[in-house]
Amino acid sequence: MDLRQVFERMISVSELGRGQASKVMQTVDETGLPFFVVKNNKPQAVIISIRDYAELLKAREVLAALDLAEAGAPRGGGTAAYQSLTEEEIRHFLSGEQEEER
């Protein structure tokens, strides 16, 4: 993504509050490209698709497992610092939220 595309994908917190959030989320879902949320001219957050989020969680899990393997720690021993959700679990969670809104 070149610099021009980054600027095109930036949105301020106030714009999101003025009814642009739905449009941004639809664009992210359709294109798969992130939006960068800016507050006081500083990047504060990134809006990504649920698919990308699930992939990031899986990648973090793989990296954590590799770190454990390199350190010689026994697998399965101890507690995880986080628990990642599968894409199916995320979809199930989101479908439950939509039912509650009705």
Domain ranges in the chain are 3-48, 51-101
CA distance 68 to 6: 35
Give the residue among 49, 20, 22 at the shortest CA–CA distance from 33.
Answer: 49
Give the pLDDT score at 46.
95
**For the residues 11-22, what does the mean pLDDT come to?**
93
Q: How far is CA 61 from CA 30, 32, 81, 87, in A?
A: 27, 22, 10, 14
Give the pLDDT score at 7.
83
Residue 13 above 70 pLDDT? yes
Give the pLDDT score at 47.
95
Give the pLDDT score at 62.
87
**For the residues 54-83, what does the mean pLDDT come to?**
72
- Confirm whether pTM is higher than 0.85: no
Residue 56 above 70 pLDDT? yes
Provide the CATH number for the domain formed by 3-48 in this structure.
3.40.1620
Give the pLDDT score at 76.
53
Sign of CA dihedral 53, 58, 63, 67: positive
Residue 6 above 50 pLDDT? yes
